[in-house]
Structure 1
Amino acid sequence: MTDLKSANNPLFLREEELRQAIELLFFAYREFTAGPDQILKDYNFGRAHHRVIHFVGRNEGIIVSELLDILRITKQSLNRVLSNLIERGFIEQRQGEEDRRQRCLYLTEKGRKLEQELSRVQRDLVGHAFREAGADAVAGYRKVLLGLIDEDIRDTVLKRVLKP
């Protein structure tokens, strides 16, 4: 892996180093989404479909309002994607057991297979990068990612991500 030059004290990063980090983030995201984008194309789906499938898969029984909160998109945008996924048999919705007004979302078998296919590509990519970087770098990477998340929601995000 190419070694990037950085200042000895991370508190005094120069503008160029920050710009390099931003640019690397753009390129990393491009690579991170490239594999799933190819798979999604076969289904005529986009990244919004992928995000919904991912978060429903990671949070079986999630209610629509929670999904809206995670994705931070409008109801209209979510409904368009969700309707498409339901109609095509990737997600099913059930009434809430405690509150019948709630719509709880679950991946179907077809949805689970697609979620696994999409995430396998990304797990392989991230796993390779983690093995190449080493444990200390992975710990630093996680700290940086957490630092990019708004402090007001960081604990909520951590609870979702670190669940058993």
Structure 2
Amino acid sequence: MPGKEEHDPAPIRTALSREDGIDLDIIELLFFAYRDFTSDPDQILAADGFGRAHHRVLHFVNRMPGLTVAELLEVLKITKQSLARVLKQLIDTGHIVQLPGPKDRRQRELYPTGRGRALALALARPQSRRIDAALKETGREKRDVIERFLKAMVNPDLRAQIDNLPGRPGTVGSDDG
């Protein structure tokens, strides 16, 4: 809670506006875009009793098979406790397998199973269609601008982490060279 403003129980009946120096329109658009971007996967996940945390774990394990638990914690910026329940469910339901590391058997490497890969793709397809439709509506030539904008929204000290993800343009294992 920023500051210790005096608590005034009287209702405020005027909406926040741009006069406050905050770009509320963009903030609202991000809220609405996120709501709709996650709505289709949320329905698919709910059928298995899963939520968005499961989606994030599945996404990154599928993007980076062999990712260690420690690396996943770093990517997601969550605690071991937060990951433990979600990961256990994904392992117990046969979506992910956990194997000891080849060099350090204490490390746990995570791999998708066929079932986990199928679910990750089922979650990504409607999101990909939504992105594709938005790019068609705004113009495909804007893709680079949109990517740069989204990356700029990430904390500066964490942007290199994005560049190092497998499959990203310019990284080892990407399709561009």
Coarse TM-score class (shorter-chain normalised): 0.7 to 0.9
Q: How far apart, CA to CA, are the structure 1 residues paired with 2:161 and 2:122?
A: 27
Q: How far apart, CA to CA, are the structure 1 residues paired with 2:158 and 2:46?
A: 33
Select the structure of larger CA radius of gyration.
2
Q: How far apart, CA to CA, are the structure 1 residues paired with 2:22 and 2:151?
A: 19
Counterpart of 1:107?
112
Q: How far apart, CA to CA, are the structure 2 residues paired with 1:136 and 1:16?
A: 31
From 124, 127, 139, the equivalent of 1:122 is 127
Measured after TM superposition, the shift of residue 16 of structure 1 is 6.8
Q: What SS does the aligned partner of 2:164 have? A: helix
Q: How far apart, CA to CA, are the structure 2 residues paired with 1:62 and 1:14?
A: 46
From 41, 49, 52, the equivalent of 1:47 is 52
Measured after TM superposition, the shift of residue 137 of structure 1 is 2.3
Q: How far apart, CA to CA, are the structure 2 residues paired with 1:150 and 1:93?
A: 30
Task: Structure 2: give runs of 5+ residues left out of the alignment.
Answer: 1-17
Residues 1:73 and 2:70 are matched in the alignment: no
Counterpart of 2:67?
62
> Per residue, is there more helix in 1 or in 2?
1
Name the Cα RMSD after superposition: 1.7
From 22, 33, 37, the equivalent of 2:42 is 37
Q: How far apart, CA to CA, are the structure 2 residues paired with 1:150 and 1:106?
A: 28
Q: Alpha carbons of 1:26 and 1:123: their partners in 2 closer, same or farther (altered >3 Å)?
A: same
Q: Point out 4+ residue stretches in structure 1 off by more than 2 angstroms.
A: 13-17
Counterpart of 1:24?
29
Task: Structure 1: give runs of 5+ residues left out of the alignment.
Answer: 1-12
Residues 1:137 and 2:142 are matched in the alignment: yes
Counterpart of 2:15?
none
Q: What SS does the aligned partner of 2:38 have? A: helix
TM-score w.r.t. the length of structure 2 is 0.81
